[in-house]
A and B are shown apart, each in its own frame.
Chain A
């Protein structure tokens, strides 16, 4: 009994080894070189056909049929192997192409990345440059406006109106260009505006200082009050003449002397003398008195060294000259 079991176990082991050998055969066949194996299979097929014929001649038809089947399968196997061989060859060719395209793609990607980096750099630089232009435009605008304001503070509207107008006109153009995004043009106009504003400021500052200096010197004169209106200094007095008289009051001579002494150094000064009277009922009489008093004053000031050409002669209406009794010496620089 024991020996029978041993024998049976041996047979099972042999059967298992058979199965394993079949599996390993399958693997060899699949991984082998298809075209060579295909030829082998076809040759084997031919050999089996030969065997089939021999069996047929021997009258063994069943065996002959079985050999034919084997031959047929081997032939199909050979054909399949040949197809596989061709497919593999085609696949290998395509894989080469794929590798080539991938390689090209890599190069193109690299170029693309470089171009993107360059573009970004350019855009960053441009943005930076645009920012600089914008800031420059804005700064110039602010500078121009500041200078115009400074010039206005020293009466540039009076002393350098032409230059100030040019400065303002250029500022306006600069502002318009800035608002429409034309920053470079705006900066150029602003620079021109600054130049005009500077000139206006320079001119006006001199005149303004001169006027302020003159006003300071004439601020404390007996019998006169001084007032500054635009570019003019107005010296007013109601006491220079007695009512209905054209003679200067003796106590006011020192005051007129001081005025003459002060203004005779200002060669560019224009002097206007205005006399107002309302002592008479008649307007004509008042006007006649005013003209007489004016001549007296002008004559006296000329006698004190003031250039005759500095006086401005103006005709006044009766109504103007008689509204109030007073004298006004208007100084324009």
Chain B
């Protein structure tokens, strides 16, 4: 009823507002989807990076990660809750980053261990040379 009392200008303004609101909601949904897709790409990148470190991380973790990313892509296309899908993608990225950190820590551990071996070898060699020289010095005292 009341719409009949609106002037042409008012009607046009309300109409434009409704169009803008629609566009805004659409854009938000598009952004959400864009964000999730971006995360899936990021997950793929991280998995690729993890392949280089696979000897340093548990095989099960890598397999789980691969399965998750595959399912995530499928779920995105199967009308799952997009907010939760985004959350899954987010925690997955966290997980992969943690795995990479774990691998890097293991590498550091391995490097430190190797350095210790090198230093020990140096110490043993130096000790040997030193005792030889000490023996030789006795001849001059």
Please give the residue numbers on chain A whose beta carbons come within 8 Å of chain B beta carbons, in ascending order. 3-4, 7-8, 10-12, 14-15, 18-19, 22, 25-26, 29-30, 62-63, 66-67, 69-70, 72-74, 76-77, 80-81, 83-84, 87-88, 90-91, 94-95, 97-98, 101-102, 104-105, 108-109, 111-112, 115-116, 118-119, 122, 126
Residues of B within 8 A of A8 (CB): 27
Most buried by B among A4, A7, A84: A84
A4-B20, A30-B98, A74-B91 are known contacts. Are A66 and B81 too (CB-CB below 8 A)? yes
Q: Are B31 and A14 in contact (CB under 8 A)?
A: yes
The digit string for B91-130, where 1 denotes a CB below 8 A from any CB of A, is 1111101110110011011001101100110110011011
Q: A7-B24, A91-B109 are in contact. Are A70 and B116 (CB under 8 A)?
A: no
- Number of B interface residues in the complex (CB < 8 A): 56
Q: List, in ascending order, chain A residues with CB within 8 A of B101's CB.
A: 30, 84
In the complex with contacts A11-B30, A63-B81, A66-B84, A87-B97 CB distance below 8 A: no
Q: A84-B102, A105-B123, A115-B133 are in contact. Are A76 and B23 (CB under 8 A)?
A: no
Docked complex: B47-61 residues within 8 A CB-CB of A: 57, 61
Decide: B31 and A118 in contact? CB cutoff 8 A.
no
B residues near A (Cβ < 8 Å) are 20, 23-24, 27-28, 30-31, 34-35, 38-39, 42, 57, 61, 64, 68, 71, 75, 80-81, 84-85, 87-88, 90-95, 97-99, 101-102, 105-106, 108-109, 112-113, 115-116, 119-120, 122-123, 126-127, 129-130, 133-134, 136-137, 140
| Minimum CB–CB distance for A56 against chain B, Å | 14
